């Protein structure tokens, strides 16, 4: 039984990414697991796959929340949630996180950053969209440390049911 | 019976807006109706209410796709879709449109712009987020003319079922 | 401006149906329109298409809330909402209605009946699943009369935002 | 890295349940964990809480897919997905499962049974709705054995992206 709900941190980024972004994402996943938190992501390739590989390689839990079916999942997810919701699954990814770390990314990532900020969920960015409210970080270490610190201090960042949007 | 599906254009913007944004939104709604298109929006106050007032005042149809229940609707919606989906309803708003017009707006609007661009739906902006891919317009007249022209030419901008995201 | 929100009644039933179900659905659509209500449905073929044909043929508004993209719509929808949500769109169909009329149907229809009843929305059935809570009706006339009467008396049947489920 | 995607089995049932249903649900959760599968559920009280307690007590992973926010979660979830989707989250619960076990239940459970069957996902029932297609089982042991056998043999039961509904 949990005295407190599990700390959950999301990584968002593109399914197609650079080698540098992949290295960063894998390190983010590893450090989230080492901090005892659950990794939440979109479950697909690129940044998501690298983060899952890092998290599960370090003995952690990686959750992939997919837009379509199970066949979209990368092979490093501990749990897959094939939602069938299409792009609306982006809302579920950020709703499930106490903090979000954005690595690079394109329009899908931007939508996740925007919805996280709308929900009052803190967003830490590494070489990503420059949007007011996103806390720019130098590297994986800084982003995870700040995300864990913030999400752990305040588990109230997830959407409350019935909150007006 | 429709030979072609009805032309549907969404307006996105904040529930709290300036007087200027309200005037612009009302004009956008009016011109969408005069073009024979259906107005799609989030169904709440501010930019959404002004656009609905403009559309229905000109004899058009205004559809409000709400995050929660019917009580959130502004009084100028012809049709309300109280989805109960929370912020995920933002995905539905843009999925339903052949083109999106953004007026001002905060994080919710940014998420709608990002998801529209992700889905390949053209976005026309009036004094809104400066995101690559958004076509900046001077006023309501320019935005509606370009939206109608684009959406009418290519009704294939809406998401195809099963399209990978 | 609406003094009261528009009365919206959903029809649910299968995309593949019998000729008798089609006649019934068309009559349901026609009478919903004649009652001044908006027809809500899943926007596809069979029962949905027949109801849309009936509603728009009588000068009413027919809204099709689709699981995928616009190409799934039947040609008699006044407004189409291609949600991209997959089967989760069934929840949106019933959330948007003050009352639901079920005609025949298979598992999808059963899920809509169940979610409507869960949300406290009255369900009137014609030759459909025998589930406690569904009010069995003889024909289209009885179902629409009872649905209009119930939904018109109590517009509070739609889900309130934040209501626990 | 997984050679095969993780086996995921959902339990569906009511947040308010009898003592017998609770005992059954806890045994279902325990046996799912002992079979090396991930437990998927709606994350709330009653049947869901008992199943999570059984699964995590046996060292397994319990995933709670919530309609609203994190505060709705029972204290035995390993991972919580506070979707904010309202009743549409029922679709996500069954989409995430290779097989569904229903214990008792009311309208919400019925909607999950119906959507699972619609998606081609096998449903095993213990003292639940008698719907054609639901395989009636005597107890937790029979239901889990059959669910594991079926879901393990055929991981293709989850919805494919783009599948027509």
C-beta atoms of B92 and C81 within 8 A: yes
pLDDT above 70 (res D164)? no
CA-wise closest residue to D48 among D5, D89, D85: D89
Residue in chain A closest to D2 (alpha carbons) equals A75
Domain C8-156 CATH assignment equals 3.40.50.450: yes
- Cβ distance A86 to C87 less than 8 Å, yes or no, reads no
Q: Inter-chain contact C95–B78, Cβ cutoff 8 Å?
A: no
Residue in B closest to C84 by C-alpha: B161
Of residues D160 and C83, more confidence is placed in C83
CB of C131 within 8 Å of a chain A CB? The answer is no
Query: pLDDT class for D162, splitting at 50, 70, 90?
Result: very low
For position C5, what pLDDT does the model report? 65
Q: Which residues of chain B does A88 touch, with a Cβ-Cβ cutoff of 8 Å?
A: 85, 88, 91-92
Q: State both tokens at D114.
A: 């119906």
Instruction: State pLDDT tens for residues D82-139.
Output: 999 999 999 999 999 999 999 999 999 999 999 999 999 999 999 999 999 999 999 9
Q: What is the mean pLDDT of residues C67-85?
A: 97
Can you give the pLDDT at residue C159? 39
When mean pLDDT is compared across A77-91, A145-159, D24-38, D53-67, the lowest value belongs to A145-159
Q: What is the C-alpha separation between C158 and A140, in angstroms, rounded?
A: 45
Pairs across B and D, CB distance < 8 A? 27
Give the CATH class of D8-151. alpha beta
Instruction: Using DSSP, state whether A151 is helix, strand or coil.
Output: helix
Note whether D79 contacts A61, CB cutoff 8 Å.
Answer: yes
| pLDDT higher than 80, residue C154 | no
B69 to C5: CB separation less than 8 angstroms, yes or no: no
- Residue C87: which of D106, D118, D133 has the nearest Cβ? D118
> Which pLDDT value is given to residue D1?
60
DSSP D132: T
The phi, psi pair for B68, rounded to 5°, reads -120, -120
Output the six-digit token pair for B136: 């900046």
Q: What letter does residue D44 receive in the DSSP assignment?
A: S
More confident residue, C164 or A121: A121
Residues A162 and D62: their CA atoms lie apart, in Å, by: 25
Residue spans per domain, chain B: 8-151
Are the Cβ atoms of B91 and A92 closer than 8 angstroms? Answer: no
> Which residue in chain C has the smallest CA separation from A68?
C86
For residue C163, is pLDDT > 80?
A: no
Least confident of C28-32, C149-153, D40-44, D68-72: C149-153
Higher pLDDT, C151 or C66: C66
Q: Which residues of A touch C161 (CB under 8 A)?
A: 162, 164
Whether D155 shows a pLDDT value over 70: the answer reads no
Q: Do A85 and C87 touch (CB under 8 A)?
A: no
**Interface residue D85 vs chain B (CB under 8 A):** yes
Computed from CA positions of residues A80, A81, A86, A88, in that sequence, does the dihedral angle turn out positive or negative?
Answer: negative
**pLDDT tens over chain B, length 165 residues:** 665 667 999 999 999 999 999 999 999 999 999 999 999 999 999 999 999 999 999 999 999 999 999 999 999 999 999 999 999 999 999 999 999 999 999 999 999 999 999 999 999 999 999 999 999 999 999 999 999 999 875 444 333 333 333
- Chain C interface includes B97 (CB < 8 A): no
CB-CB: which of D72, D86, D165 is closest to C87?
Answer: D165
In the predicted structure, residue A10 carries a pLDDT above the cut 80: yes
Q: Residue D84 is nearest to which of A6, A38, A91, comparing CB atoms?
A: A91
**pLDDT bucket at D160, cuts 50 / 70 / 90:** very low
Indicate the burial class of C36 (C-beta count within 10 angstroms; 0-12, 13-18, 19 or more): exposed
Strands (E) located in chain B? 8-13, 38-41, 62-66, 79-82, 99-103, 123-126, 134-136
Instruction: Say if the Cβ atoms of C1 and B53 lie within 8 Å.
Output: yes
Does residue A136 belong to the interface with chain C, where contact is any CB pair within 8 Å? no
pLDDT at A157: 39
C38-41: strand order across its sheet: C79-82, C62-66, C38-41, C8-13, C99-103, C123-126, C134-136
Helix C19-34 to helix C140-153 angle, to the nearest 10 degrees? 40
Q: Give residue D6's pLDDT.
A: 74
Name residues 60-79 of chain D within 8 A of A (Cβ).
61, 63, 65, 67-73, 75-79
With CA atoms as reference, the chain D residue closest to B162 would be D162
With contact defined as 3+ CB pairs under 8 Å, the chains touching C are: A, B, D
The answer to whether residue C8 neighbours chain B at the CB level (below 8 Å) is yes
Report the range of poorest mean pLDDT among A27-31, B20-24, C1-5.
C1-5
Tokens for D121? 């996902």
Share of chain C above pLDDT 70, in %: 89
Residues of D in contact with C162 (CB under 8 A): 68
| Cβ-Cβ contacts under 8 Å, D133 against chain C | 107
In this prediction, residue D152 has a pLDDT band, given cuts at 50, 70 and 90, of confident
What is the pLDDT at residue D3? 58
| Over residues A43-51, mean pLDDT | 98
Q: What is the 3-state secondary structure (H, E, C) of A43-106?
A: CCCCHHHHHHHHHHHCCCCEEEEECCCHHHCCCCCCEEEECCCHHHHHHHHHHCCCEEEEECCC
pLDDT of residue C113: 98
Q: CA-nearest residue of chain D to B85?
A: D85
Is residue C162 pLDDT above 50, yes or no? no
Across the interface, of A89, A91, A162, the residue whose CB is closest to B87 is A91
Radius of gyration of chain D measured on its C-alpha atoms: 14
By Cβ distance, the residue of C38, C80, C81 closest to B65 is C81
Question: From the list D85, D161, D164, which residue is nearest B85 (CB)?
Answer: D85
Residue in D88, D160, D164 closest to B84 by CB: D88
- Give the distance from CA C154 to its chain's centroid: 17
User: Above pLDDT 70, what percent of chain D?
Assistant: 89
Asked if the Cβ–Cβ distance from A114 to B107 is below 8 Å, we say yes
What crossing angle do the helices spanning A47-57 and A19-34 adopt, rounded to 10°?
40
B128 Rama class: left (phi>0) / alpha (psi -120 to 50) / beta: beta
């Amino acid at each position: 039984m949990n005295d407190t709900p599990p700390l959950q941190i999301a990584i968002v980024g593109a399914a197609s990414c650079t080698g540098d972004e992949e290295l960063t994402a894998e390190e983010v996943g590893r450090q989230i697991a080492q901090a005892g938190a659950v990794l939440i992501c979109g479950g697909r390739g690129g940044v998501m796959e690298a983060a899952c590989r890092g998290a599960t390689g370090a003995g952690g839990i990686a959750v992939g929340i997919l837009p379509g079916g199970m066949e979209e999942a990368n092979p490093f997810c501990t749990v897959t949630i094939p939602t069938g919701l299409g792009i609306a699954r982006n809302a579920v990814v950020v709703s499930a996180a106490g903090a979000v770390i954005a690595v690079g990314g394109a329009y899908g990532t931007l939508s996740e950053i925007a919805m996280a900020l709308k929900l009052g969920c803190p967003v830490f960015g590494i070489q990503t969209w420059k949007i007011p409210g996103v806390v720019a970080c130098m590297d994986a270490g800084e982003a995870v440390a700040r995300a864990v610190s913030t999400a752990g201090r305040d588990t109230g960042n997830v959407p409350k049911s019935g909150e007006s949007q």
